[in-house]
Amino acid sequence: MSMQKEELIKQLSLCIEKGKADRATPTPPEMKDQVGAVEITAQLLEMEVSPEEILNDALIAGMKRIGDLYGQGKAFVPHLLLSARAMNAAITLLKPFFEAGAVERKGTFIIGTVKGDLHDIGKNLVKAIVEGSGWQVIDLGTDVSTDGFLKAIEEHPEAHVGLSALLTTTMVNMEEIVKAIRVNYPDKRILIGGAPVTQEYCDRIGADFFTLFPQEAAEYLNSLI
């Protein structure tokens, strides 16, 4: 790796970790007026650095660091949201390569907030970390019915599934969705998460994995490859 390329990869990874999407992004203060993820990604592509190398060595590396810091209580939801914004901005430049098959994704992950629940911050954080780990993410949004999940699985039969809920009143809908998935797709891996969710509840309804930390969801999915 040339020195210039190595330095740019390192800088791009830092931009993702710090949430510096582009030059106009005012945060973090110490990077004000500096180029951000978009400009550096464009520069690397102009240098004919492979999109896969950009994804793995910069974007995934940066998202993993911020995810680990969040898990250690050293970073918080706003930091993750800024990192996700920076990563999504960079990935926009890489998407044509994904679509052309130049970059192989690790797999497909369907995620949605269950019916009756309109909260999406937790879902969006998991989406960002998982996407930043090299997965294609199918985001069904919020208030997703059982049929909504089943239809998405029918369209993406190879995908794993994630259910999110922020309220105790909507968490109960996870059970119905998990049961329906089990009837139709018995071997499907199902992840659940959200503030009121517990490991005991996960075990009771028959889901495969529970976590409150987005990075752990990504690590679990990676372990399935």
Residue 27 has pLDDT above 80, yes or no: yes
User: What pLDDT is stored for residue 121 in this prediction?
Assistant: 84
Percent of the chain with pLDDT over 90: 69
Least confident of 32-41, 101-110, 137-146: 101-110
What pLDDT score was predicted for residue 1?
56
Give me the domains of the chain, ranges plus CATH numbers: 3-99 (1.10.1240.10), 108-223 (3.40.50.280)
CA 17-20-21 angle, 5° bins:
115
Query: Tens digits of per-residue pLDDT, 80-126?
Result: 889 989 988 998 898 888 777 777 789 999 999 999 999 888 898 89
Average pLDDT of the chain is 92
Question: Hey, CA dihedral for 93, 4, 56, 78, is it positive or negative?
Answer: negative
CA atoms within 13 A on the CB side of 53: 12
- pTM greater than the 0.85 cutoff: no
Phi, psi of 65 (to 5 degrees): -65, -45
Of the chain, the end-to-end C-alpha distance in Å amounts to 28
